[in-house]
Amino acid sequence: MNAILIVVLLALSVALLVKRRARGDASRIKGPEDLRAQLCALDIEAFRNLTDPHEEDFLQSHLSAAAYRRVRRLRLKATLAYVSCVAKNATVLTRMGEQARRSPAPSVVEAGTRLVDNALRLRLQTVQLKAKIYTLMIYPGIRASSSELVSQYEQMTRQGVLLGRLQYPGRGVSSAF
């Protein structure tokens, strides 16, 4: 009986930890200024280049095996930094969407719900992608794509801009992204 209780408590603790980790720890967003302060700057074109499989093919065909592995590890470290930034921004946008879901305006609630759903999904994907990147750092010869994360991040950013315009009309929300 005690063993079952311990297992159940451990499972609940792990579930709460995973939920808290997925939601992150961004503080409350009161306006575009708070949003700008909490978002991590991200160069989409550089991120896209790092995750482009054609770029990997080019590097592999033009570098020696040892040089390619060295360059690949450096690119993976940079990709990891970008993925961490995406995860942080997804957390901030989750908070923004959660606040919007408490709005009296139905269009704001709907946009907030969509943003929360996509931001949480993206946040979980970043956790999976980080595990994949660490594996690729150990075994740089393995091929795996992470380019879909860039387009999903761009979609979530567009949703954040739309929601920001609905929540804070005329206050320059798009410049926060």
The range of the structural domain enclosing residue 105 comes to: 2-176
Tell me the pLDDT band of 168, cut-offs 50, 70 and 90: low
State how many domains the chain has: 1
Q: Could you say which DSSP state residue 12 is in?
A: H
Q: Which residues of 158-168 are buried (b: 16+ CB within 10 A; e: fewer)?
A: ebbebbbbbbb
pTM of the model: 0.72
Q: Could you say which DSSP state residue 168 is in?
A: S
CA distance 102 to 109: 7
Cα Rg of the chain (Å, integer): 19
Residues in the chain: 177
Q: What is the pLDDT of residues 92-135, one digit of tens each?
A: 888 888 888 888 888 888 888 988 998 898 898 899 889 988 98
